Each structure stands twice: as structure tokens, then as C-alpha cells.
């Protein structure tokens, strides 16, 4: 799993399934299919964390779900990025850059929406804490984001 990290991706933000903000209260930015298809073949599905940037704005911490989201039984693999920053507006059509640095957990199925939301909040807390470690700081200023 770590052999693929760090992994850099960028692409235009596209409309996702429309549940991140509305159903979960946790907005996500979605990459188009061609970006998802460019992930390393053997990269495990699950939840990752790292840094992200919209257009040429500030670099923020992020959590990303890669996979089929078993709770929703998705037909297509997705990369859904939750940026740990409150944006005032949607940014469909803008360029999203991410560096994926580490793995939190595999994809899971959930018995309820509340269980899913609690787990995502836990993932966010893990990313928030871990990204403060000095080993990750240089990625926030990486030339990829300039």
C-alpha cells in the first residue's frame, strides 16, 4: 500500500453523487473518471489523507475516499476528496490538485448513515492530527502546488 505513496493527482472537479454536502454534511470534490483510472492498478481502495489545492489557492489538509463506497453500492470507482477547510461556494470546473500521503483504513460497509458519518468524522480527526507531523510538512510546500 505505501509503495504507491506519495501519489500526486490533478484534474477538473466534476459533479459527484450529490450526497457529500446534502446527506452527510461533509462536502467532497470529485475527480473525473480519467483521473480515477490513472491511479496505480494495485492501489488499495479505502480512506487516505494528504494535502490539496483548488486552482492556485492555499494548500489545505484533505481526506480522500478511493473506491466504490459499499454503503452506497457505487457502480464506478471514485476519488472523493474532503478538504479540511470551509469554502463559501462550490468549485466545479476548477483544478483540484492532491498529494495522497498515507492510508487510514479499508473501505467499509455501514449499518446506518449515522455510523458512516461518525466514521468519516473519525477519519478527519486522524488526518488532521497526522498531517501535523513534521514528516509531512514539506509536502504542503511541494512544487506540485506552485
Q: Whole-prediction pTM value?
A: 0.92
**Per DSSP, what are the bridge partners of residue 80?**
30, 65
Structural domain boundaries enclosing 78? 2-145
Interval 129-145: pLDDT, tens:
999 999 999 999 999 99
CATH number for 30: 2.40.30.30
> Which residue carries 483548488 as its cell?
54
Interval 85-114: pLDDT, tens:
999 888 899 999 999 999 999 998 888 889
> Which residue carries 489523507 as its cell?
49
Question: Which residue out of 44, 80, 107, 115 is catalytically annotated?
Answer: 80
How many structural domains does the chain have? 1
Specify whether 80 is catalytic.
yes
Amino acid at each position: 500500500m505505501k509503495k504507491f505513496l506519495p501519489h500526486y493527482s490533478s484534474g477538473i472537479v466534476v459533479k459527484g453523487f450529490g450526497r457529500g454536502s446534502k446527506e452527510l454534511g461533509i462536502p467532497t470534490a470529485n475527480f473525473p473518471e480519467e483521473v480515477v483510472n490513472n491511479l496505480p492498478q494495485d492501489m488499495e481502495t479505502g480512506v487516505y489523507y494528504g494535502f490539496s489545492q483548488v486552482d492556485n489557492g492555499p494548500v489545505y489538509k484533505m481526506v480522500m475516499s478511493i473506491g466504490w463506497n459499499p454503503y452506497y453500492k457505487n457502480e464506478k470507482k471514485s476519488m472523493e476528496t474532503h478538504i479540511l477547510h470551509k469554502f463559501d461556494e462550490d468549485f466545479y470546473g476548477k483544478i483540484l490538485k492532491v498529494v495522497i500521503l498515507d492510508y487510514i483504513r479499508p473501505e467499509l460497509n455501514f449499518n446506518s448513515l449515522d455510523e458512516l458519518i461518525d466514521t468519516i468524522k473519525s477519519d478527519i480527526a486522524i488526518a488532521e492530527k497526522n498531517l501535523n507531523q513534521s514528516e509531512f510538512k514539506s509536502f504542503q510546500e511541494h512544487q506540485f502546488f506552485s
